Amino acid sequence: MRVWDRVVRGFHWVLVLSFATAWLTRHSSEDIHHWAGYAAAALVALRLVWGFLGTPYARFSQFVRGPATVLGYLSAMLSGREARYIGHNPAGGAMVVALLGVMSATALTGWLMTTDAYFGVP
């Protein structure tokens, strides 16, 4: 059974590729590093849009849960009695939110390093 559509699958692997490219070029090729960061930022923006307009399992409403639900799931997991989910479980949904947040912050602070106003780079 395929749960995630092509947009989500493609997003995952192209984000991995853009992050790896940015990391590997952090000291060697500034242009490639910048473009990899822009690609990662664009991918996160695409995923945010797709999280509201995409197919049922791609939507945030399907897998993003509140903190109490996530903690309850983690507690049940420790005792081996966690519920099964198609798609992301509550802990996986929290991880998706964390990944999107950290990638957004990384792209934003990377871009800010190129501005005079925030980091003084000429």
CA atoms of 101 and 95, how far apart (whole Å): 10
Is residue 83 in a domain? Answer: yes
Q: How many domains does the chain have?
A: 1
In contact, 37 and 113? CB cutoff 8 Å: no
- Examine residue 63 and state whether it is found in any structural domain, yes or no: yes
**pLDDT tens digits, the chain, 122 residues: what are they?**
789 899 999 999 999 999 999 999 988 888 999 999 999 999 999 999 999 999 999 999 999 999 999 999 999 999 999 999 999 999 999 999 999 999 999 999 988 888 777 666 55
Q: Write the DSSP string, 63-74.
A: H---HHHHHHHH
Query: For residue 59, how many other CB atoms are within 10 A of its CB?
Result: 15
pTM for this predicted structure: 0.87
Residue 88 lies in a domain: yes
Q: Are 91 and 70 in contact (CB under 8 A)?
A: yes
Residue 1 lies in a domain: no
What pLDDT is recorded for position 113? Answer: 83
Domain carrying residue 77: 6-119
Which regions of 1-122 does DSSP assign to beta strands (E)?
none
pLDDT at 54: 94
